[in-house]
Structure 1
């Protein structure tokens, strides 16, 4: 394995959020955006850990089981294009 190949295999954890929830999001009533206040606890489909990981130019958001690190979902975030991968809600700065 060359140094360049080895360097590409290194991942750097940029952020860990110990507990996050994933919800079945209802359809948007308007084109304005989502409101987390409208999400029901009964529509929660998963709870686990969120990790943001980088490897060279690539950045990835991973939802993982906090005990086993089993991957639930992942989303690539192209450089400078967070808005195309992650959409904020209208009624909170936390989501």
Structure 2
């Protein structure tokens, strides 16, 4: 199993879990910082994966990790919706206090 590539996926998964924790705490600045870390990790992963295909076992592990990342992402988006609606309202000139 290619543990080097999987370590990138695991690091992205950890960053997404940390983003979810920050979102649950309402720490959107931290969410944005962690999102930047994810972008960097994804870039590094793409570079590392160019010449290193995953074997079947690693591909299954990658699939499980990606599912968890997608679940975290969906929950973060769900938590962000009220905040984004407040921002949209504020940008549209509606008077409302951000939470």
Length-normalised TM-score, structure 2: 0.27
Q: Which has the higher strand share?
A: 1
Larger radius of gyration between Structure 1 and Structure 2: 2
- Which structure has the higher relative contact order (CA within 8 Å, separation 6+)? 2
Q: Which has the higher helix share?
A: 2
Length-normalised TM-score, structure 1: 0.27
